[in-house]
């Protein structure tokens, strides 16, 4: 238990006795992080071919799980369950790693590998203890810069041509108002005209009589 979680590793290793197995044995395992307060599963990590022995080791925000089947040591993030790295030792890891300090106070991790005893044969396989520690001087972190060319799509501006109706100038004939002077004829004028007409008639009658005589 660490960081409020209980870390558990389970695995499948089906066995069949009595001749050939009627199914294909499939070995796999799953690593769980269970909330110690609620019992809820926070994360799970599925590992194909995982055959685990011993317990899990949690230290420094990491979960260490030894792999008996293929000789790998799985190291997971204790909070997320993501695989941080996996190291291959070339032989099955039947015992979980040990983390501690040496006589000089330097942190170390020790891994036991191999040493397999074949049941019923009395044979003993080779084994070893591997100890890993930090160097006296840690290397400077390398900053790797990578140029990323990002293609930005160009914005195409569509020009909309709006047809403006043309203004048609229509010539409208102007109305010309003529001023006509009307001469007003008064009563005296009418009387004079009447006398002239009468005299003309008398003259015509007199002339006609003369011609007749």
Do 167 and 153 contact (CB within 8 A), yes or no?
no
- The tokens for 147 are 């140029």
Domains of the chain with bracketed CATH: 5-133 (2.40.10.480)
pLDDT tens-digit map of 109-160: 999 887 765 545 455 667 888 888 888 887 787 788 878 887 777 776 766 6
Do 104 and 75 contact (CB within 8 A), yes or no?
no
Furthest C-alpha separation in the chain: 195
Q: In the prediction, which pLDDT does 198 show?
A: 57
Q: Which residues contact 23 (CB under 8 A, 6 or more apart)?
A: 14, 16
CA-to-CA distance for 90 and 82, rounded, in angstroms? 23
Q: In the prediction, which pLDDT does 180 show?
A: 52
State the average pLDDT over residues 6-30: 82
Say if residue 38's pLDDT is above 90.
yes
Q: In the prediction, which pLDDT does 54 show?
A: 80
Work out the pLDDT band at 12, boundaries 50, 70, 90. Answer: confident
Phi, psi of 104 (to 5 degrees): -90, 5
Average pLDDT for the chain = 77
pLDDT tens-digit map of 68-112: 777 889 999 999 999 999 998 888 888 889 999 988 888 999 998
CA-to-CA distance for 63 and 43, rounded, in angstroms? 13
Say if residue 52's pLDDT is above 80.
yes
């Amino acid at each position: 238990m660490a960081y409020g979680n209980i870390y558990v590793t389970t695995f499948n290793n089906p066995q069949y006795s009595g001749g050939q197995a009627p199914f294909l044995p499939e070995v796999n395992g799953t690593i769980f992080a269970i909330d110690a307060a609620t019992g809820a599963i926070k994360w799970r990590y599925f590992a194909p071919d995982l055959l685990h022995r011993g317990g899990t080791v949690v230290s420094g925000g990491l979960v260490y799980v030894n792999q008996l089947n293929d000789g790998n040591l799985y190291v997971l993030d204790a909070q997320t369950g993501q695989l941080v790295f996996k190291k291959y030792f070339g032989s099955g890891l039947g015992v979980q790693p040990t983390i501690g300090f040496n006589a000089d106070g330097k942190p170390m991790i020790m891994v036991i590998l191999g040493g397999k005893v074949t049941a019923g044969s009395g044979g003993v396989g080779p084994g070893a203890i591997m100890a890993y520690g930090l160097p006296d001087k840690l290397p400077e972190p390398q900053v790797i810069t990578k140029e990323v060319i990002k293609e930005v799509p160009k914005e195409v501006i569509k020009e909309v041509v709006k047809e403006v109706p043309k203004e048609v100038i229509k010539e409208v004939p102007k109305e010309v108002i003529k001023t006509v002077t009307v001469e007003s004829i008064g009563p005296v004028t009418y009387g004079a005209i009447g006398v002239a007409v009468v005299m003309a008639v008398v003259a015509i009658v007199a002339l006609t009589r003369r011609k007749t005589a």
